[in-house]
Amino acid sequence: MANLQVLQTEFANLSDFLIALGDEKRQAIIIALLANTCDGLRVTDLTEATNLSRPAVSHHLKILKQAHLIFSRSEGTKNYYYLSHNIQEIDDLKTLLDHVTAIINASGRK
Amino acid sequence: MANLQVLQTEFANLSDFLIALGDEKRQAIIIALLANTCDGLRVTDLTEATNLSRPAVSHHLKILKQAHLIFSRSEGTKNYYYLSHNIQEIDDLKTLLDHVTAIINASGRK
DNA sequence: TTGATTGGTTTAAATTTTTAAACGATTCAT
DNA sequence: ATGAATCGTTTAAAAATTTAAACCAATCAA
């Protein structure tokens, strides 16, 4: 039924995800990871792909990880970063968008 | 087919929209507008609904307007703000999310 | 016309975000 | 062990965002 209280909660829960997706640098990281989902990419790979410094990449990876967009695997000193194959937030965001359009349509018709 | 170039364009075109949606203050404005889509809300209404100052509300309204989320109508000195009833970006964002999941699923299966 | 109301803008300050330099910890090869 | 390589962290600086105070323009009522 999507009342406004539910909507507010959905919005709040998706803030980190939306902020993570909105930044162009992080979009570049996501796209680089999308291009290589087989064995993961390391920080140095991503610095080349994005023209960012290593600490900057590391920082954005942390934000993406907190937003549950990526995860990582360690082999010795090497860390491989992947996109999560099952991103719950994608479905949650679609649900939120559906709720918004439902409310807009309902009030427009009354 | 959603290759990566297309995806990059889709991402870039939605940056403003995603950034606009990610901020909690703007979420509060959106929710206030969702609660009243009949005759619109004025800046002073929104300052009460959000506990923001008038310049802050004005600033966020500008960002929301640039993201095509809202529009306004003037009656004399009074400006009424509405949610757009037809937000193209919502459909665009859903398309983008579908492309992302399609790519993730395709590579996970290979 | 005068005074009051509404609300956008500008400037500057405060806050947050982003970045880089330096450092530290761990692993691997020799 | 020793040296090299990988990469996260911390600190501080730079950049961007957000906010408020003050100001200005336009409209309306008297």
Residue A1 — pLDDT band, cuts 50, 70, 90? low
Strands A78-83, B78-83: pairing kind: unpaired
Asked if B7's CB is within 8 angstroms of A23's CB, the reply is no
- The pLDDT score that the predictor gives to residue A108 is 62
Residue B110 pLDDT: 45
Contact, A4 vs A105, CB < 8 A? no
> Pick from B61, B54, B67: which is nearest to B82 by CA?
B61
Rounded to whole angstroms, the Cα distance separating A14 from A65 reads: 14
Question: From the Cβ of B23, is strand D under 7 Å away?
Answer: yes
Taking an 8 Å cut-off on Cβ atoms, the answer to whether A31 and B24 are in contact is no
The Cα–Cα gap between B34 and A100 comes to: 8
What backbone phi and psi angles, to 5 degrees, belong to B67?
A: -85, 5
Domain containing B26: what range?
Answer: 1-107
Which residue places its CA closest to the C1' of nucleotide D19? B56
CA of A58, C1' of C27: distance in angstroms: 19
Report the number of distinct structural domains present in chain A: 1
Please tell me which of the candidates A15, A37, A94 has its beta carbon nearest to residue B104: A37
Strand runs (DSSP E) across chain B, as ranges?
A: 70-75, 78-83
CA→C1' distance for B42 and D24 (Å): 20
pLDDT at A3: 87
pLDDT digits over A46-83, tens only? 998 898 999 999 999 999 999 999 999 988 888 999 99
D16 C1' to B98 CA distance, Å: 31
pLDDT tens string, chain B, 110 residues long: the values are 568 899 999 999 999 999 999 999 999 999 999 988 678 899 999 999 898 999 999 999 999 999 999 999 988 888 999 998 878 999 999 999 999 999 988 876 54
Q: What pLDDT shows up at residue B90?
A: 96
- Residue B25 phi, psi dihedral angles, 5° rounding: -65, -40
Asked if B73 CB < 7 A from strand C, the reply is no
Which nucleotides on chain C have any atom < 7 A from a protein Cβ? 5-10, 18-22, 25-28
**Cβ of B16 near strand D (distance < 7 A):** no
Please state the φ and ψ torsions of residue A38, each to the nearest 5 degrees. -75, -60
* Among chain A residues, CA nearest to B100: A34
Model pLDDT, residue B57: 96
CATH number of the domain at A28, please.
1.10.10.10
